[in-house]
Structure 1
Amino acid sequence: MSPASLTMAGILLITVPGVAYGGVSLLQFLMRNVPGYLDNPVRRGLWRAGHAHAGVLVLFSLVAMVYVDQADLSDPVKGLVRAAIVAAPILMPLGFFLSVVRPSDTKPSKLIYLTFLGGASLAAGTLTLGIGLL
């Protein structure tokens, strides 16, 4: 792997304890009947989605870093692809979590748009990477 891909992989691996901590937090909310979680289906659903997306996208992004170095793309484009793919597991969960921060939130705030930004980043990065691999 190139040094740039190794750096991105290192950043992604550093986020794994955060994802694990989030899972433990959600488990504690369930076990302790924390107000504002179990009784708030919007918050519960978005936080579960945020945790799931974080875990899956971190794993996906780690695998994608191996392929970036194999793609027939210029170095600047490879850098953009790396950044776009790594942005997704950061932006999407942040959108899910931050859009319903308060236990009383019954609908997502405008921060939910971070999920769309993360999705667009993932789509652009993976589409470019796929084209570069063909």
Structure 2
Amino acid sequence: MSPASLSTAGVLLITVPAVVFGGVTLLRFLMRNVPGYLDNPARRRLWRAGHAHAGVLVLFSLVAMPYVDQAALPDPVKTLVRLLIVAAPILMPLGFFLSVARPSDTEPNRLIGLTFLGGASLAAGTLTLGVGLL
């Protein structure tokens, strides 16, 4: 792997404990019947979605890094692809979590837009990478 992809993979691996911590926190909320979580279906669903997306997208991003190095793309475009793919596991979970950050939130606020931004980032990065691999 290129040094840029190795560095990116290193950053992604460092985020794994944060995903684990998030899972432990959600488990603690369930076990201790924390107010504002079990009694708030919107918050419970969005936080569960945030945790799941974080874990899956971090793994996906790690898997994509060696492919970025193999793509027939100019180096600046490879850098952009890395950035776009890595932005998704940051933006999407943030949107899920922050859109119902307060225990009293029963509807997502405007920060849910971060999930769409993360999805667009992932789509653009993977589409560009796929074209570069063909």
Normalised-by-shorter TM-score class = over 0.9
- Residue 37 of structure 2 aligns with which residue? 37
Displacement of 1:25: 0.1
TM superposition shift of 1:32: 0.2
1:69 — aligned with what? 69
Give the C-alpha shift of residue 98 in structure 1: 0.4
Let me know the Cα RMSD of the aligned residues: 0.3
In the alignment, which residue of structure 1 is the partner of 2:16?
16
**Equivalent residue number for residue 92 of structure 2:** 92
Measured after TM superposition, the shift of residue 7 of structure 1 is: 0.8
Once the two structures are TM-superposed, the CA of residue 27 in structure 1 deviates from its matched residue by 0.1
Which secondary structure does the structure 1 equivalent of 2:106 belong to?
coil
Aligned length: 134
SS of aligned partner of 1:72: coil
Distance 2:106 2:131 in 1: 41
The whole-number CA distance in structure 1 between the counterparts of 2:48 and 2:66 is 29
Match in the other structure for 2:113: 113
1:110 aligned partner, one-letter code? R
Cα deviation code 1:19-72 (max 9, x no counterpart)? 000000000000000000000000000000000000000000000001000000
Percentage of pairs with the same residue: 84
For structure 1, list consecutive stretches of 5 or more residues without a partner in the other structure.
none
Whole-Å Cα distance in 1 between the matches of residues 90 and 69 of structure 2?
Answer: 22
The letter for the 2-side match of 1:8 is T
Query: What letter corresponds to residue 11 of structure 1 in structure 2?
Result: V
- Give the TM-score, by structure 1 length: 1.00
Instruction: Find the aligned partners of 2:23 and 2:83 in 1 and give their Cα distance.
Output: 25
Partner of 1:4: 4
CA distance in 2, matches of 1:107, 1:59: 29
